[in-house]
Amino acid sequence: MIPPDTHSTLHLAAVENDGNQRPGDDDAVRGREPAAVAAEDPWGARGHSDLPRSNAVYNSKEYWEGRFREEKEYEWLASFSDVWGQLSKCVPPASHDPSILLVGVGNSAFSADLYEKGYTNLTNIDYSKNVINAMKIKYGTSHPRMKWLAMDMTAMDDLPDGSFDVVIDKAAMDALMSGEGDVWNPDVGVVASCRAMCRHVSRVLGKMGTFVQVSFAQPHFRKKYLLGLHRTDDGEGAVPGVSNVDCEFDWNYKVEPLGG
């Protein structure tokens, strides 16, 4: 049971690696874009019709703005139907009209599918203005209650405290972590970005709110980010604003394999 006034976070592990990947191995890194998605990736690091040469481009705003100028729709990791069985247990009934925030939405149809389940009080954010403008045009008439905001999920200052019942992230933090490097000693900039994202998610969630994350990451490593367990150096190279304390987020953590 979740104690009163406490957030919860559910990490749905969409795909689990076999543990043999070597951090920083480009061939292994390329394999982290799963095969079970809707279409081949039409953008390489320089716009080629193959996968990027390094997954680090997934943390580049320039990459996404360029990709979204051409690409119409792409479903990362899993479709709505793959996730709904477990997600439906994490959200209040549609009749309660819960306020739901979806971060890093890209051009996925996920939020439109959720809308069609009766969850119409939806706010979608992405830092790419290209994709937000395109999605407004695509769904503005058919899904009129959905909101689309060009906003960075690590800097959601314009969203009020406690304004959402549920926050959903499907592969957005995965993109943030594409420059992680050594999973045992991750890049301090990546740690800072993920910490900022979690701080904002925790802030915008109401009491008893739920953060649902669908991820390609191994749960052991992702848990450290979601619970704020990564530490940074006190000396040279320390990241301002990242404290050396454990578990600063007021939420319980649960992990399930997708489809499990």
Q: What pLDDT was estimated at residue 19?
A: 31
Helical packing angle, 219-226 and 188-204, nearest 10°: 60
Tokens 């709110």 belong to: 209
φ/ψ of 96, rounded to 5, equals -85, -5
Span 49-89, pLDDT tens digits: 345 666 667 766 677 677 777 777 777 888 899 999 999 99
Phi-psi region of 231 (alpha: psi -120 to 50; beta: other; left: phi over 0): beta
Mean pLDDT of 185-207: 89
pTM: 0.77
Tokens 């604003």 belong to: 241
Span 216-230, pLDDT tens digits: 888 888 888 888 877
Question: Do residues 94 and 116 lie in contact, with contact meaning Cβ atoms separated by under 8 Å?
Answer: no
φ/ψ of 223, rounded to 5, equals -55, -35
CA distances from 3 to 6, 208, 224 (A): 6, 8, 21
